[in-house]
């Protein structure tokens, strides 16, 4: 898979805080219930903390009570990359940023209350939030001159 953003581990280490580096580049997990975006309820866009790529929209965020920000679908299926993770003696699906390959979290098929049934369980530290409504995006055109 070709990455749009390629940096050396040294570069990442310089640009990220130790906590961000541990999660994004070493597939760490922040402590549940501690993430700054856990209770973020404004409308907006969630981007990759490492490279700024758009990953999720607030419209797909839901409260899963799991202690991490949860979404039922990425903004675009190409925005994330899913790979099998067999660490910790479990079979899980790891979610990476498709643009830079950074670790975001895991996806679990255990959210029947959502339209997709999926729970993208993300680390707050892997994301940044940009407030804004979706106005302006899409639905342009349709200029109806008789
Ligand atoms: Zn990224």
Q: Which domains does the chain have, with CATH numbers?
A: 9-131 (2.170.150.20)
Give me the pLDDT at residue 33, please. 96
Give me the pLDDT at residue 142, please. 41
Give me the pLDDT at residue 139, please. 40
CA-CA-CA-CA torsion sign (131, 77, 7, 18): positive
Per-residue DSSP letter, 44: E
Q: What is the CA(19)–ligand 1 centre distance, in A?
A: 16
Give me the pLDDT at residue 134, please. 59
Per DSSP, the residues of 86-124 read -GGGS-EEEEEETTT--EEEEEES--TTSSS--EEEE-G
Q: What is the CA(56)–ligand 1 centre distance, in A?
A: 12
**How many Å is the maximal CA-CA distance in the chain?**
65
Q: What is the CA(124)–ligand 1 centre distance, in A?
A: 14
Q: What is the CA(43)–ligand 1 centre distance, in A?
A: 21
Catalytic residue set: 121
Q: Which residues of the chain carry a pLDDT beneath 50?
A: 135-146
Q: Which two tokens stand for residue 36?
A: 């700054």
Q: What is the CA(143)–ligand 1 centre distance, in A?
A: 36
Give me the pLDDT at residue 133, please. 72
Give me the pLDDT at residue 27, please. 96
């Amino acid at each position: 898979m070709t990455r749009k953003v390629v940096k050396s581990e040294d570069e990442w280490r310089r640009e990220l805080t130790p906590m961000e580096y541990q999660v994004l580049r070493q597939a760490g997990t922040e402590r549940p219930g501690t993430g700054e975006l856990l209770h973020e309820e404004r409308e907006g866009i969630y981007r990759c903390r490492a490279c700024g790529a758009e990953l999720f929209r607030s419209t797909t965020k839901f409260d899963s009570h799991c202690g991490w920000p949860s979404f039922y679908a990425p903004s675009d299926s190409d925005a994330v990359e899913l790979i099998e993770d067999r660490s910790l003696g479990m079979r899980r699906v790891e979610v990476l940023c498709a643009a830079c390959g950074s670790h975001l979290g895991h996806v679990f098929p255990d959210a029947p209350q959502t339209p997709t049934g999926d729970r993208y369980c993300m680390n707050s530290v892997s994301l940044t939030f940009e407030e804004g409504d979706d106005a302006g995006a899409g639905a342009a055109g349709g200029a109806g001159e008789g």
